[in-house]
Structure 1
């Protein structure tokens, strides 16, 4: 079940006795769990009604004993279990015993007063396990995958609208370029921009530039974009800003290697007919990052990308062996790469 369907069921008052929540989009997962808790537990009862376990420290017998115990002074309780071994393919600890057959028995006859949630922060569950198959048959598995690029942009706009603000499309794009695709970080920055805009205000791109600092990774992303667009002066300005922030040239070089390597992969996958969403899955990127990377890659031929990666490898070796002065070496790389163009 996709998380939107699970949210709809919550709004309709349909709460399952157990959920297996998995995926890499932790913001959406935490949001769902918080909504579930809000539907089950009064704010003043949270300390008594919400119990937390981890399968790395607690066996299934201990978890099930709590699940089968009637709640104390509250009508229902929520048990949250962080898991990497029972429903995923992680290794069991020798110190903790898990008996999946007992959990399967419980799932066939769960307590009415308990909602049991397994939180699995992995891209996939272990489909070979009977527990996973049974939970899927009961429609109790909820997937939390990263939002596609367009949906992520719509989510940003909706968050602003929900607080009676409007965010202009260029401002959304600038925000994503500066913060990246981390929904938790995006939410924090949107809320800051909402306060700045004031009641019924509009958030423009210049407000994002003024108020939202770019992360190192996003600055390197922008650095690559400026090189691709032959804007060497802007690339150097970004580099000098990163140096002022005491960023290490060797670290920046490593980030550039990752960026150009991903661009090469994106270019090859594009030739094979992959969509940005499919590329994201292959490369372990967020769909929005894959979309922007595909746009950047258009400015480079495969030959140029290969040559840039070779030059970065030489630069990295020279830096680490002391043959190249780090700050000047990376500056010369930016000057040379930007002046040569993309093709």
Structure 2
């Protein structure tokens, strides 16, 4: 089951006796566990009702013993288990033994008063394990995948709406461009913008531009966008802004290499019929990052991207060997790239 279905069941008051949560979107996974805590326990009883384990430190026997023990002075018990070994593909510690056959037995008859949750912060579970197959068959697995670009925009706008504010779609797009796709950072910046807008206020794109500082990675996105659009003056101005923030030219050059390389990969994968979602999985990028990268890649030919990567490799060597001043070297790269024109 996907995260959306799991959240819906929780809102409807349906709680399963066991969950195996996996995925790279840890913000949503943590949000789900917090909602479980809120659904099952009262704030004043949480010290007794919520028990935490880690399979890197605690054997399954101890976890299951706790799961099969009746709760004390509270109606329900919630057990949260951080895991990279039992359902994940991590290596077991020689000091901690996990007898998985007992967990398979627990699957058949879980305790009614206990909700057992395994939290696996990786893209996939280990499909070779009997436990994983059984958990999937029983409907216990919940996947927390990154949101698609339009879903992220809706989520940000919805967060503002819950606070009685209106966040314009253009403002949401600008927020994503400046902050990136990390949902924790997006939540914090959205809350800040809502506070600034005031009760029943509106968050505009101009407010986002004024109040939200772009991360280094997002500034490099913008830098490549300016290069692709032949706006050399803006690219150099943005570079100077990054220098004022004490960003290292060598670091910026490496981020440019990564972005140009991703653009090249996106172009090549697009030719072979890959969908944006497939590209995201192949490159280890968020779907929104693939969307922005694909948009930027249209301004470059494959030959030009290859030439730029070669030039950046030469610049990297020259900067690290002291043959060229780091600050001046990257600035000259930006000026030369812009003067050469498109494609």
Normalising by the residue count of structure 2, what TM-score does the alignment of the two structures yield?
0.98
Could you tell me which runs of 5 or more consecutive residues in structure 1 were left unpaired when the two chains were aligned. Answer: none
Query: Paired residue for 2:324?
Result: 324
Which segment is superposed worse, 163-172 or 243-252? 163-172
**Alpha-carbon distance between aligned partners in 2 of 1:60 and 1:134, rounded to the nearest angstrom:** 17
3-state SS, counterpart of residue 337 of structure 2: helix
1:140 corresponds in structure 2 to 140
Q: Whole-Å Cα distance in 1 between the matches of residues 138 and 326 of structure 2?
A: 58
Q: Tell me which residue corresponds to 1:236.
A: 236
How many pairs were matched up?
Answer: 343
Separation in structure 2 between the aligned mates of residue 99 and residue 151 of structure 1, nearest angstrom: 40
Alignment of 1:230-269 (within 5 A): 230-269=230-269
Q: Distance in 1 between matches of 2:323 and 2:48?
A: 62
Displacement after TM superposition at 1:153 (Å): 1.0
Q: How does 1:264-343 map to 2 (within 5 A)?
A: 264-343=264-343
In the aligned structure 2, how far is the partner of 1:166 from the partner of 1:304?
Answer: 42
Using the TM superposition, give the Cα deviation of residue 342 of structure 1 relative to its aligned residue in structure 2, in angstroms: 3.2
Q: String of CA shifts for 1:223-267, please: whole Å, max 9, x gaps.
A: 111111111111111111111111111111111110000000000
In structure 1, the residue matched to 2:83 is 83
CA drift of 1:7 comes to 1.2
Determine the C-alpha separation between the residues in 2 that align with 1:339 and 1:208: 31
Q: Which runs of 5+ in 2 are unaligned?
A: none
Does residue 1:204 correspond to 2:226, yes or no?
A: no
Pairing of 1:182-221 with structure 2 (within 5 A): 182-221=182-221
| SS in structure 1 of the partner of residue 186 of structure 2 | helix
Deviates more, 1:4-13 or 1:303-312: 4-13
Segments of 4+ moved more than 6 angstroms: none
Separation in 1, partners of 2:121, 2:102: 23
- 2:58 corresponding residue in structure 1: 58
The alignment partner of 1:164 has SS state of: coil
Query: Structure 1 residues 342 and 46 mapped into 2: Cα distance closer, same or farther (>3 Å)?
Result: farther
Q: Secondary structure at the match of 2:13?
A: coil
For the residue of structure 1 that corresponds to 2:19, the secondary structure is strand
Q: Secondary structure at the match of 2:93?
A: coil
Paired with 1:290 and 1:29, the residues of 2 have a C-alpha distance of 23
Tell me, what secondary structure is at the counterpart of 1:246?
Answer: coil
Is 1:106 the counterpart of 2:106? The answer is yes
Cα distance in structure 2, aligned partners of 1:336 and 1:46: 61
Distance in 2 (alpha carbons) for counterparts of 1:49 and 1:338: 61
Instruction: State the alpha-carbon separation in 2 of the partners of residues 337 and 261 from structure 1.
Output: 16
Using the TM superposition, name which of 320-329 and 271-280 deviates more: 271-280
Task: State the superposition RMSD in angstroms.
Answer: 0.9
User: Aligned partners of 2:9 and 2:171: how far apart in 1?
Assistant: 33
Q: Aligned with 2:15: secondary structure?
A: coil
CA displacement at 1:102 relative to structure 2:
1.0
Matches of 1:326 and 1:65, distance apart in 2: 60
TM superposition score normalised by structure 1: 0.98
What is the SS of the residue equivalent to 2:51?
Answer: strand
Deviations 1:187-214 (A, max 9, x none): 1100100011111111111100111111
